[in-house]
Structures are given as structure tokens and as C-alpha cells.
């Protein structure tokens, strides 16, 4: 998803579907959803203005006071707006659309909005915004949006926020946005069929501004405009250093001019090097497809996802979106050796090493944004960090002006764990302290009877959820390592629960080096740390051990090594060398028995297996190796195992064709437009065999994936 409002020229015609252009040709059905607007702000209801614009059979606006859907027309431009330095606007008469309504004039503060695409609910403070309507269809059509980069724009000095949404037969997508600026705290909550999710700010406006002022690094302080009380995106402020990320970008381009960058994405594993002309060329492991960044980006291009970071064909856009997110978050680790796979989805590494976009880090803090989800740059949805809410069966929506403070349960559950009934992450809930809870005890608290839907556990604690009463039988362990909500589809199964302090471990196995199954060219010797170590390691020597990996995922592999040299290198591989997991340089420790621990992160498959280390270069000793993962990683894999391993559709965005990799026997896809109309009928899929979709128009679609009777949906983007 990519949104950018303030860079739009005043005469630009906007058709936004969560930031993407799309065209429609069919009248929408009359079904509506209620959008309740809660005023949790310092402003009175008559100081808040609401307008709704979007697309049905063409460009329309919804009267917030009546719910009436109106075709956009130049005759709507009847409101006199400010004229700044002679700018009379597109109509050359200073008139703008009469589409805003005061919140105080909206009955029950609830608007019924029909199925609609590219919709924005605009909320302005103390004055309406000045939009110009060009028309319903044809050329020109649509409307002009605020362009605060233009000093003569009539919307200068007017504070506003907005909600973006699309609602169709496939479901609802909606989000808040901080892509261009933060102007006022907002909250967004969506209820559906056994669904609840919320996003938004958790603090009052002045508290957010004060926290920014107190904590922002010097380069970022000027992003706050005190007279506007608005925090702007870095590249929207002239005083922000235009070379801020240049050093990091230069280091990336320099390192990978002669080394290989390898990273994972939902479209496979990519490996790339910088070639002549600063072209960063990536190739996908599975089939050799190529994605390219045509040149070294500037700071602005890397932070905005513009220029060379938003150009080219399908595979180019895939790697560009991944690299924009990685640079913004400083997730490209320049200390990782060439060719070692990097996991750009490891959130624990985001915003840890300078430089990074501190604006993004600030709004992703858990004390600022609920569950740290927000939308702060063009590709913040890479690895699901954005504030987008989607449900296929929405029921009602609540928009809270002023953020989530005080807008939720006035008597929230207490305890170290929260158990929810009937609705994922919402609805009726009780708090549980440490202890054991039988089925009858849970029923007495108002949950249980096989209807627990989700659980939230505080950091430092764990919940063991049993599928049989009296704490026996099958169970799931959930910890608070991530301090977030989890839902494994365990509803209608849980009958008893134990809440306790969490164990510190996840998976950990230490292998003494001398306990190998097989070896070539090495010898055991007495070790200064006790027992024995393996030494006399020369180039191409190897050792093999047996190990059992619980689940497929990222593991930290540590090696206890010693060496008087500085040229040693370990390669971790599958026994026999069929797969190489990674390499690690052995440092000079000052002697054969002066020990140090080195480590790297690798991806290992689940199951009993033989792993090996091979000496790429020799001259080092090894005492032991340790393979480990956090409880957090194991629980996240457990919670998302089905979703991550069942299927992946790629590329997305695409140009002419897509492929589906899946686990199962039979798979089919059906493609709909965003109004829910079937565009491509049910099509059986062969694993990884492309489906040609070159006849589709550029735009956004919904693909329904059916794998052995289990149905999922995903947004699909065609770039041309």
C-alpha cells in the first residue's frame, strides 16, 4: 500500500484504493455499513467537519448528514474558499465543493456508507477542507485534494485527518495513515463475524507532541511545526537533511558491489549484487526471476519509496518494496557475511542501528500506537506493520477522533492474561491471574463451555490452554514474549487453563563438537574449558551431528571457537552439502585455547536431520555448537504456521502472470474486482505453473484461493 497526499498537484484527479489507482464500470449494490464517529477530542462537535468521497459507478460523494450518495459534479462547487496569492482554484472563481457536514449535524454521529472503492472519510478541524469536484466520469473527473506543498493551496493552515477504505462483496479494507504527516490522534475499530480489531494512537495530542519534542534526535526535531501542531514526514520538511540516509545507502551499494545480499520475502528468496551503473540486480532462488533497482536511490527516494524505488516491472517492484522497508528500518545488516540469508521480517532488529527513519520508529512505539501498528511510510505493510484492518464480513465501524484513550472498555479486565469469548481480540473478556482454572471455574467467570476465542498474555507470563478438562491431553502454550494478541483457531476446544510465569527458554540444544557422527580430517584433543574439543581443522575438513529441529524457522547457531589466525571460516550445511545454511568467519582469539563465541542466524527445516560444518578455510578449533530459538519465535511460528506454510501467491504486484505455491493436493483461484464481481472464473492451479492474466486491466483485484476446500482471500495488484 502506498499513499501520498501532499505531493498531489491541486488539479490532479485522485482515485485512491488504499493508495492505488483503479477503474470501475458497474453500479454498486445498496448494502451499507454504519460508521460511528466518536468525538474524543478537545474540539466541539460543531468544530469538526466530515466529508466522504469515493467511487461506485463513478466518482461520488456521500452526504454525511443524510447518507445520500451523490454523483460528483462541478455544480457542487458553491462554497467560497480562501484565495491565497491570487490562486482562484481549478474553477477560477475560488469556489469549492459543498460536501462537508458538521459532526453536530450528523444524526447519532453515524454515517451509513454503501459499498464503495477508493473512499476517504475526511475529518477537518474548525473549518472545512476545500475540495474541487471535476465530475462523475469522463475526463476530467474526480476531485482535487489538499496539496500542502503548494503555498497557495486553499487548505493551508487547516488541520485534518482521514480514514481510507474500500468495501465490496469480498469484505472491508480500511486504515489510518501517517505517510505524509501526523495531525491528530485517531482510533479505528472494526467489528465483524467473530472479528474485532483496532488501530490508532493511545495518547492525547499534546502528550504526543511533548514526547516528540523531548525525544526526537536533532535531525528530526524540526518535523514538528509548533504553529500547526503537526508532525510532518521527514522528506516534506525543507530543513530535514536531504542526505540523511546517504551514508547507509552508499555502504549497502558498496558492500554488495562485490558481495551478495540474500533476503527472504513472501515472494521467495532473493539474492542480489550491484552491477555496472549502480544497478542492484536480484535473482530469485526458485526460478531465476530477476528484480532490479535501476540505480542507487537518494535519501528521499529510499524514505518515500519513490523514483528508482518505485519503478519498473513486477519483480522490480517486489524487491524495491522490500528494500525501501529494509532501509527505512535499518534491517540490512552490513555485518552479515556475503550470501548469508537475512530475515528482513525480524521485528526485533527494526530501528536499532542508526541511521533509520526515526519518524517511523516514533509512531510504531507501543506507547504511541496500539499494538505498534501504524502507517508511516509507503511500504510499511511489508511484513504487516501497517494499520490496515481487513475482514470479509464487517458489521460496524467506529472512528474515534482523538485516539483510543478512553474509547474502549471503561472497566477493562485485570490480571496477567485476558481471555476473550466469542470474538477474536474483543467482545466479552475476563482477566486471569496466576493459577489453575478448571472448566467449571471458567464457566463461573463467564467464559469457557468450549467458546474461548483468543487470549492476550502479558510479557513474562504464559498461558497453557488444555483441550481436555483437569489439565490433561492436548495443549497449546502461549507466552507474552511479544505482548500481543494471538489466535490459533483453538476456539471450541479449550476447557482448562494454567496461567504461570513464563519459562525463559524456547528451543535450545548444545552439541559437543567431539560427539560427531562422522568426520573427515579432524582430531579430538583436551580442552582448557574442560572435556575435549575438536582441532587440527584444515580446509575442506568436516563434521556431522544429528539434531532434531522442532519447527521450520530462524535459529541462532553459536560456535565456541579458538584460533591464532584471522582467516578461518565455518560453513553450516546439510550433511553432504545438499543445502548451505550460512557461513561465519572465525576471528583471531590469540591462541588455540583462547575461546570465544560467534553466531549467526540461519533458517532450518523441521525434523530429525544431520547437520554439518565444513571448513571453508582451516586453522581453528571448535569446542561446541548451540542451536537455539526464543519462545517468541516458536510461538509465532506455531500461531502462524498454517498461514505461512499453506500457500504463497507471487509476484504481487504482477504484470502479466501469477504463480501459486501451496501445500495440499488440489488448488484453484477465482479473481474478483473490488466490487465483488467475478473477473476470472474458477481456475485449477498447478503448483508454481504461471497463470496468464495479461488481459486484466491495471488495478486492484481480490483473489480467492481454494486449497483442498479451505478458502482464503488476498489483495492482488496489477501494475500495467
In this predicted model, what pLDDT tens digit does every residue of 68-77 receive, in sequence order? 999 999 999 9
- Contacts for 343-351 with beta carbons within 8 Å, 24 or more apart? 343/263, 343/264, 343/554, 343/601, 343/603, 344/263, 344/264, 344/265, 344/382, 344/383, 345/264, 345/383, 346/554, 346/601, 347/383, 347/385
Residue 15 has pLDDT above 60, yes or no: no
Indicate whether 48 and 144 sit together in one domain: yes
Last residue of a domain, one of 629, 660, 690: 629
Distance between CA atoms of residues 56 and 116, nearest Å: 5
Q: Is residue 229 part of a domain?
A: no
Average pLDDT for 405-433: 64
Q: Which pLDDT band holds residue 503 (cuts at 50, 70, 90)?
A: low
Higher-scoring residue by pLDDT: 559, 423: 559
Residue 699: which CATH number?
2.60.40
Indicate whether 436 and 494 sit together in one domain: yes
In contact, 89 and 132? CB cutoff 8 Å? yes
Indicate whether 43 and 187 sit together in one domain: yes
Q: Does an H or E element contain 323, and which?
A: helix 314-329
pLDDT of residue 2: 37
Indicate whether 81 and 190 sit together in one domain: yes
Distance between CA atoms of residues 664 and 709, nearest Å: 10
Q: Is residue 185 part of a domain?
A: yes
Burial code (b: 16+ CB inside 10 Å, e: under 16) for 257-292 equals eebebbbbbbbbebbbbbeeeeebbbbbeeeebebb
Residues of the domain holding 690: 651-718
Indicate whether 608 and 656 sit together in one domain: no
Domain count, the chain: 5
Q: What percent of the chain has pLDDT over 70?
A: 84
Picking from 333, 278, 324, the residue whose alpha carbon sits closest to that of residue 299 is 324
Q: Does an H or E element contain 319, and which?
A: helix 314-329
Residue 258: which CATH number?
3.30.920.50
Indicate whether 515 and 609 sit together in one domain: yes
Average pLDDT for 17-31: 38
Q: Which pLDDT band holds residue 705 (cuts at 50, 70, 90)?
A: confident
Q: Is residue 286 part of a domain?
A: yes
pLDDT of residue 631: 46
Q: Does an H or E element contain 329, and which?
A: helix 314-329
Residue 578 has pLDDT above 80, yes or no: no
Q: Is residue 412 part of a domain?
A: no
- Contacts for 159-162 with beta carbons within 8 Å, 24 or more apart? 159/124, 159/125, 159/126, 159/183, 159/184, 159/228, 159/229, 159/230, 160/122, 160/123, 160/124, 160/125, 160/129, 161/122, 161/123, 161/186, 161/401, 162/120, 162/121, 162/122, 162/123
Q: What percent of the chain has pLDDT over 90?
A: 50
Indicate whether 479 and 544 sit together in one domain: no
Indicate whether 44 and 177 sit together in one domain: yes
Residue 24 has pLDDT above 70, yes or no: no
Distance between CA atoms of residues 233 and 378, nearest Å: 11
Residue 189: which CATH number?
2.60.110.10
Picking from 45, 49, 115, 103, the residue whose alpha carbon sits closest to that of residue 79 is 49
Last residue of a domain, one of 318, 345, 372: 345
Residue 586: which CATH number?
2.60.120.260
pLDDT of residue 632: 47
Indicate whether 98 and 132 sit together in one domain: yes
CB atoms within 10 A of CB 646: 17
Q: Is residue 86 part of a domain?
A: yes
Q: Is residue 395 part of a domain?
A: no
CA 388 to chain centre: 9
Least confident segment among 256-260, 475-479, 585-589, 631-635: 631-635
Distance between CA atoms of residues 404 and 400, nearest Å: 7
Indicate whether 496 and 513 sit together in one domain: no
pLDDT of residue 413: 65
Q: Does an H or E element contain 211, and which?
A: helix 205-215
Indicate whether 565 and 468 sit together in one domain: no
Close Cβ partners of 502 (under 8 Å, ≥ 6 residues apart): 457, 460, 461, 462, 479, 480, 481, 631
pTM exceeds 0.75, yes or no: no
Least confident segment among 57-61, 200-204, 541-545, 659-663: 659-663
How far lies 375's CA from each of 147, 193, 222, 341, 620, in Å?
20, 25, 21, 27, 48
Q: Is residue 230 part of a domain?
A: no
Q: Which pLDDT band holds residue 572 (cuts at 50, 70, 90)?
A: very high
Q: Is residue 398 part of a domain?
A: no
Last residue of a domain, one of 485, 501, 517: 501
pLDDT of residue 679: 86
Expressed in angstroms, the distance from the first to the final Cα of the chain is 16
In contact, 97 and 157? CB cutoff 8 Å? no
Handedness of CA 435, 438, 441, 446 (dihedral sign): positive
Indicate whether 462 and 571 sit together in one domain: no
Amino acid at each position: 500500500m502506498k499513499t501520498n497526499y501532499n505531493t498531489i498537484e491541486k488539479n490532479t484527479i485522485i482515485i485512491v484504493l488504499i493508495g492505488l489507482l483503479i477503474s470501475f464500470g458497474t453500479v454498486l449494490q445498496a448494502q451499507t455499513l454504519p460508521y460511528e464517529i466518536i468525538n474524543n477530542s478537545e474540539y466541539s462537535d460543531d468544530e469538526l467537519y466530515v466529508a466522504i468521497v469515493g467511487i461506485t459507478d463513478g466518482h461520488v460523494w456521500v452526504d454525511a448528514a443524510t447518507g445520500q450518495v451523490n454523483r460528483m459534479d462541478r455544480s457542487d462547487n458553491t462554497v467560497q474558499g480562501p484565495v491565497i496569492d491570487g490562486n482562484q482554484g481549478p474553477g477560477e472563481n475560488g469556489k469549492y465543493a459543498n460536501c462537508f457536514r458538521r459532526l453536530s449535524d450528523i444524526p447519532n454521529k453515524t454515517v451509513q456508507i454503501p459499498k464503495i472503492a477508493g473512499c476517504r472519510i475526511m475529518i477537518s478541524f474548525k473549518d472545512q477542507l476545500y475540495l474541487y469536484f471535476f465530475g462523475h466520469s469522463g475526463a476530467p473527473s474526480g476531485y482535487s485534494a489538499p496539496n500542502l506543498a503548494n503555498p497557495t493551496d486553499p487548505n493551508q493552515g487547516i488541520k485534518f485527518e482521514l480514514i481510507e477504505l474500500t468495501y465490496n462483496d469480498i469484505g472491508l479494507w480500511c486504515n489510518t495513515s501517517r505517510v505524509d504527516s501526523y495531525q491528530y490522534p485517531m482510533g479505528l475499530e472494526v467489528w465483524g463475524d467473530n472479528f474485532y480489531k483496532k488501530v490508532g494512537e493511545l495518547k492525547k495530542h499534546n502528550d504526543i507532541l511533548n514526547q516528540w519534542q523531548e525525544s526526537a534526535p536533532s535531525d528530526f526535531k524540526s518535523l514538528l511545526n509548533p504553529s500547526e501542531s503537526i508532525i510532518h514526514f521527514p522528506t516534506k520538511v525543507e530543513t530535514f537533511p536531504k542526505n540523511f540516509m546517504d551514508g547507509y545507502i552508499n555502504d549497502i551499494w558498496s558492500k554488495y558491489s562485490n558481495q551478495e545480499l540474500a533476503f527472504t520475502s513472501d515472494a521467495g528468496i532473493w539474492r542480489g549484487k550491484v552491477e555496472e551503473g549502480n544497478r542492484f540486480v536480484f535473482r530469485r532462488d526458485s526460478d531465476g526471476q530477476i528484480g532490479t533497482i535501476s540505480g542507487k536511490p537518494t535519501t528521499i527516494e529510499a524514505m518515500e519509496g519513490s523514483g528508482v524505488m518505485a519503478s519498473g516491472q513486477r519483480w522490480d517492484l517486489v524487491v524495491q518494496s522490500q528494500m525501501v522497508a529494509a532501509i527505512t528500518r535499518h534491517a540490512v545488516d552490513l555485518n552479515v557475511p556475503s550470501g548469508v540469508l537475512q530475515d528482513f521480517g525480524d521485528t526485533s532488529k527494526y530501528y536499532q542501528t542508526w541511521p533509520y527513519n526515526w519518524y517511523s520508529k516514533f509512531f510504531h512505539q507501543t506507547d504511541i500506537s496500539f499494538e505498534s501498528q501504524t502507517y508511516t511510510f509507503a511500504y510499511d505493510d511489508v511484513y504487516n506493520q501497517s494499520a490496515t484492518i481487513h475482514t470479509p464480513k464487517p458489521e460496524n465501524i467506529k472512528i474515534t477522533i482523538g485516539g483510543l484513550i478512553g474509547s474502549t472498555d471503561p472497566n477493562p479486565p485485570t490480571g496477567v492474561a485476558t481471555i476473550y469469548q466469542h470474538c477474536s481480540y474483543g467482545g466479552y473478556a475476563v482477566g486471569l491471574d496466576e493459577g489453575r482454572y478448571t472448566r467449571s471455574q471458567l464457566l463461573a467467570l463467564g467464559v469457557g463451555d468450549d467458546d474461548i476465542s483468543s487470549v492476550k498474555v502479558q510479557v513474562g507470563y504464559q498461558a497453557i490452554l488444555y483441550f481436555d478438562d483437569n489439565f490433561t491431553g492436548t495443549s497449546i502454550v502461549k507466552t507474552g514474549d511479544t505482548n500481543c494478541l494471538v489466535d490459533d483457531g483453538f476456539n471450541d476446544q479449550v476447557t482448562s487453563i494454567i496461567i504461570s510465569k513464563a519459562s525463559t527458554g524456547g528451543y535450545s540444544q548444545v552439541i559437543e563438537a567431539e560427539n560427531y557422527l562422522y568426520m573427515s580430517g579432524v582430531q579430538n584433543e583436551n580442552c582448557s574449558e574442560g572435556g575435549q574439543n575438536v582441532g587440527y581443522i584444515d580446509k575442506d575438513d568436516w563434521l556431522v551431528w544429528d539434531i532434531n529441529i522442532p519447527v521450520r524457522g530462524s535459529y541462532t547457531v553459536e560456535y565456541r571457537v579458538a584460533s591464532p589466525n584471522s582467516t578461518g571460516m565455518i560453513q553450516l550445511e546439510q550433511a553432504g552439502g545438499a543445502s548451505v545454511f550460512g557461513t561465519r568467519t572465525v576471528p583471531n582469539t590469540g591462541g588455540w585455547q583462547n575461546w570465544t563465541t560467534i553466531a549467526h542466524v540461519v533458517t532450518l527445516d523441521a525434523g530429525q536431520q544431520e547437520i554439518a560444518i565444513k571448513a571453508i578455510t582451516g586453522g581453528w578449533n571448535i569446542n561446541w555448537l548451540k542451536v537455539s530459538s526464543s519462545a517468541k519465535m516458536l510461538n509465532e511460528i506455531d500461531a502462524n504456521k498454517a498461514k505461512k506454510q499453506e500457500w504463497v501467491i507471487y509476484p504481487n504486484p504482477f504484470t502479466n502472470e501469477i504463480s501459486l505455491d501451496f501445500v495440499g493436493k488440489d488448488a484453484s483461484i477465482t479473481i474478483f474486482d473490488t466490487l465483488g464481481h467475478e473477473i476470472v472464473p474458477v481456475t485449477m492451479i498447478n503448483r508454481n505453473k504461471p497463470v496468464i492474466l495479461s488481459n486484466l486491466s491495471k488495478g486492484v483485484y481480490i483473489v480467492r484461493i481454494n486449497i483442498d476446500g479451505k478458502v482464503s482471500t488476498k489483495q492482488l495488484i496489477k501494475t500495467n
